[in-house]
């Protein structure tokens, strides 16, 4: 595998494949085939729109995962972008500098249209750009097995991303590394919203009381998880919390987005190392800049990246030893 500091990554998304696979994952086997006619006739129908909204793909999660391997040299998504379902993603994709490749359906469902075009482009890019080190194939069809094998023969490290339950085992086996879309760090915003949400006064009901009792019993019967972090804290010299400027509102949209970016970068870092391993803060900042080149702690009101991390002490643990600063995701 190439040195990740010099890694250059190409990403190819069979967009129809991933959207349909995730729709089936959310709504059940062959759900998209059953709903295809209704979606084509009126995608804005209330019931259809609701089902589509529940199965929305987080493109950012895929691109961020790909960026953890190195610098993204090119990112292409293949689909019929005139389709209303795909058109809803255009702004999200363009915002992440994804090149949209238009496939005009020659037949009813354009069978293998994306597969062939994507494979031809990928092989051409490998000869045209000899410095490419990694190829990320976002799809689940066994049709991509020859492409994965050819990329490996040409010396590239191949990463596959597909939806669990809809990915051919042969494709996963043909890749150097395969990751399920379901397991990508793409739901971080839910954690942030929980952190910033004000506590609500909920009326006590008979249904809620057993749940509270169960939580209490669980805490009493399992003291180890609460004691374990305490032991780690005694052996780790933690950095003091940074004073938060009165002008900085951690619940503002830009601060919430920065926190979500930090969580995703830390998770990606821990995926490549042990879960409890400390990560260099400079590595995390580099990953955050790969995912969002506009990120700047100074623009958010902090003098340094360390101050930014200290202000998120409920998300990240920071350890400072001399000139070395290390960070890790706090237990959720």
pLDDT at 193: 45
Packing angle of the helix pair 281-291, 59-67 (nearest 10 deg) = 130
pLDDT band at 204 (very low <50, low <70, confident <90, very high): very low
Question: What mean pLDDT do residues 16-28 have?
Answer: 90
Average pLDDT taken over every residue of the chain: 80
- 300-312 burial, b at 16+ Cβ within 10 Å, e below that, comes to bbbeebbbbbbbb
Compute the distance between CA of residue 78 and CA of residue 13 in angstroms, rounded to an integer.
Answer: 6
Question: What mean pLDDT do residues 77-102 have?
Answer: 91
What 3-state class would DSSP assign to 53? helix
pLDDT band at 98 (very low <50, low <70, confident <90, very high): very high
pLDDT at 111: 54
Question: What mean pLDDT do residues 184-203 have?
Answer: 48
pLDDT at 19 over 60: yes
Question: What mean pLDDT do residues 20-35 have?
Answer: 90
**Poorest-pLDDT segment among 64-68, 77-81, 101-105:** 101-105
Domains and CATH numbers, the chain: 4-183 (3.40.50.1010), 227-329 (3.30.420.610)
Question: What mean pLDDT do residues 260-289 have?
Answer: 86
Compute the distance between CA of residue 200 and CA of residue 180 in angstroms, rounded to an integer.
Answer: 35
pLDDT band at 196 (very low <50, low <70, confident <90, very high): very low
pLDDT at 186 over 80: no
pLDDT at 228: 40
pLDDT at 194 over 80: no
pLDDT at 219 over 70: no
Residues 6+ apart with CB under 8 A from 109: none
Compute the distance between CA of residue 131 and CA of residue 6 in angstroms, rounded to an integer.
Answer: 9
**pLDDT tens for each residue of 300-326:** 889 999 999 999 999 999 998 878 899
What are the two backbone dihedrals, phi and then psi, of residue 75, each rounded to the nearest 5 degrees? Answer: -135, 120
pLDDT band at 229 (very low <50, low <70, confident <90, very high): very low
Question: What number of residues does the chain have?
Answer: 332
| Greater model confidence, 258 or 213 | 258
């Amino acid at each position: 595998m190439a040195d990740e500091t010099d890694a250059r990554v190409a990403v190819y998304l069979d967009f129809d494949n991933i959207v349909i696979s995730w729709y089936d994952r959310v709504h059940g086997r062959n759900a998209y085939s059953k709903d295809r006619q209704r979606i084509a006739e009126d995608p804005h129908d209330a019931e259809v729109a609701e089902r589509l909204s529940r199965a929305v793909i987080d493109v950012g999660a895929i691109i961020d995962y790909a960026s953890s391997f190195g610098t993204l040299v090119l990112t292409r998504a293949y689909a019929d972008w005139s389709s209303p379902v795909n058109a809803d993603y255009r702004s999200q994709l363009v915002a992440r500098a994804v090149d949209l490749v238009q496939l005009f359906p020659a037949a009813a469902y354009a069978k293998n249209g994306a597969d062939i075009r994507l494979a031809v482009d990928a092989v051409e890019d490998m000869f045209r750009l000899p410095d490419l080190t990694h190829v990320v194939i976002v799809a689940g069809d066994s049709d991509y097995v020859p492409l994965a094998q050819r990329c490996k023969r040409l010396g590239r490290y191949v990463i596959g991303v597909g939806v669990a339950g809809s990915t051919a085992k042969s494709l996963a086996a043909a890749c150097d590394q395969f990751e399920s879309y379901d397991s990508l760090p793409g739901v971080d915003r839910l954690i942030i919203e929980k952190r910033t949400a004000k506590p609500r006064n909920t009326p006590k009901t008979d249904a809620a009381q057993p749940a509270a009792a169960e939580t209490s019993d669980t805490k009493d019967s399992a003291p180890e998880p609460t004691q374990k972090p305490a032991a780690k804290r005694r052996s780790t010299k933690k950095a003091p919390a940074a004073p938060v400027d009165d002008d900085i509102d951690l619940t503002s949209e830009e601060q919430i987005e920065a926190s979500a970016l930090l969580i995703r970068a830390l998770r990606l870092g821990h995926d490549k190392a042990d879960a409890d391993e400390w990560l260099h803060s400079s590595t995390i900042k580099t990953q955050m800049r790969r995912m969002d080149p506009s990120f700047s702690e100074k623009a958010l009101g902090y003098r340094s990246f360390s101050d930014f991390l200290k202000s998120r002490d409920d998300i990240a643990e920071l350890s400072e030893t001399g000139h070395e600063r290390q960070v890790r995701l706090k237990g959720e």
